[in-house]
Amino acid sequence: MQDKEEIVRNISTHYISQVMRAFGNVDPASKALEVIAKSLKEIYRYFEPSFFYGDFYVCKNFNDELCFDESKGALLYDKNILLNRTSGLMIIQIFNDSGKMIIWEDQDPSELLNQKTTLTYYFKNNKEFFYANDSTIDITIYNKGSRFATQFNDLIEALDQYSKAKILKSTCKHFSDSWADENRLFFRGGGSGSNIPEKFMQLSLHEFMSTYFARGITMESSREYNLVGDFSKPKPVDIKINWREANRTALIELKFIGTVKKDSDGEIYTHSDPRANKGITQLKGYHDAVSSDTPTTIIKSFLVVIDGRRNNLTKTQTTICVADGMHFKNVDILIDGDKNFHQSIQGFEKPIKMFTEPICL
């Protein structure tokens, strides 16, 4: 539990407190902060900051005086012009309560830093700052993107929590059904295909996401298509998430690697890196299709690989030592050189590996 001194220290170092102190705690500074924060959430509906590698400024003058020559800018009537922006210089000035915005793309941003009654927000290369009366205040909290457009970062945090809370120790009831044995050495492999592990894994992830994002999204799952029984169309991506308040879509494809024991005869077979690489190829197909069908939607695609690999496993084995059971915990997936799409395709994320532990001797 935090003591009083720590609470006071945290409050005093918060960026809002820093901005207010820089301007002498005057009311217009508070208003400027409020207007910029609201405007950024609106502007970032139209372009994703983690995709942007230029210089982006949003400024608010306390008295709504123009920061640059208005004739050299343009009224930002239609924010759709911001869609798919990934580079260049943009300076947007906002005004009190009117919704008016002016955009400049060829002015010297250093002029803003000399304006004593202007608060300026700056974003570049996944770093964000406020410039306030000669003070530079770093407000960066994410490795990618902005605190004012949190949708994809919220998803990454959800996946991390899912991995730790549900997958690592197999504490999810749905996911635990994917195991063929109580010590979690083998995944289930029904002869009819009805007990394939991904059925349970997908159900597990879908339920977790539905609970985590209780509001604010719509979610589609290939489970829904399977229940309908329409096999005439290609299988859709495992989970598709759409945010209601922002122009964002996430595609999640799920794969597992590890050893499967068939229910019918106890024979085993193992999936490893090639299965993950197949998932990368499938996900790229979904990513390309959705990008083509909805070109104005901001998309990020995630491959989730649940890693249940065990070392030195034989089909008659019922227990495992720590060394063999944990052997693959920190072993990365080997991605084929021609499938490193996260390095070349905007919005295509590096595969996320979730290791699931066995019960060891």
Crossing angle of helices 27-43/15-22, nearest 10°?
130
In Å, how far from its chain's centre is CA 47? 15
**CB-based burial label for 47 (10 Å; 0-12, 13-18, 19+):** buried
Would 339 be classed as within a structural domain?
yes
> 120 and 164: one domain?
no
Give the pLDDT of residue 194: 55
Note the pLDDT of residue 44.
95
Any domain includes 58 = yes
Per-residue pLDDT of the chain (361 residues; tens, 9 = 90+): 445 454 334 444 589 999 999 999 999 999 999 999 999 999 999 999 999 999 999 999 999 999 999 999 999 999 999 988 999 999 999 999 778 999 999 999 998 988 999 999 999 999 999 999 999 999 999 999 999 999 999 999 999 999 999 999 999 999 999 999 999 999 998 765 456 898 899 999 999 999 999 888 999 987 654 444 444 456 789 999 999 989 999 999 999 999 999 988 889 999 999 999 999 999 999 999 999 999 999 999 999 999 999 999 999 999 999 999 999 999 999 999 999 999 999 999 999 999 999 999 9
**Co-location of 94 and 131 in the same domain:** yes
Residue ending a domain, choose from 91, 108, 138: 138
The reply to whether 133 and 158 lie within a common domain is no
In this structure, are 131 and 9 located in the same domain? yes
Q: Please count the structural domains in the chain.
A: 2
Residue 171: what pLDDT? 97
Domain that holds residue 33: 4-138
Residue 49 is given by DSSP the state G
Task: Tell me, yes or no, whether 299 lies in a domain.
Answer: yes
**165 and 108, same domain (yes or no):** no
pLDDT score at 286: 95
- Identify the domain boundary among 83, 113, 138: 138
- Residue 229, pLDDT score: 43
Domain contains 360: no
Say yes or no: 117 and 167 in one domain. no
**Residue 161 domain flag:** yes
Same-domain status, 158 and 119: no
Q: Are residues 126 and 275 in the same domain?
A: no
The separation between the first and the last C-alpha atoms of the chain, rounded to the nearest angstrom, is: 37
Phi and psi at 318, nearest 5°, equal -125, -15
Question: At 128, phi and psi to the nearest 5?
Answer: -135, 145
Alpha-carbon distance 263 to 102, whole Å?
66
pLDDT of residue 223: 65
Distances (CA, A) of 204 to 98, 126, 171, 260: 46, 32, 10, 19
In a domain, 143, yes or no: no
Give the domain-ending residue among 85, 114, 138.
Answer: 138
Task: Say if residue 248 is in the same domain as residue 338.
Answer: yes
- Which pLDDT belongs to residue 87? 95
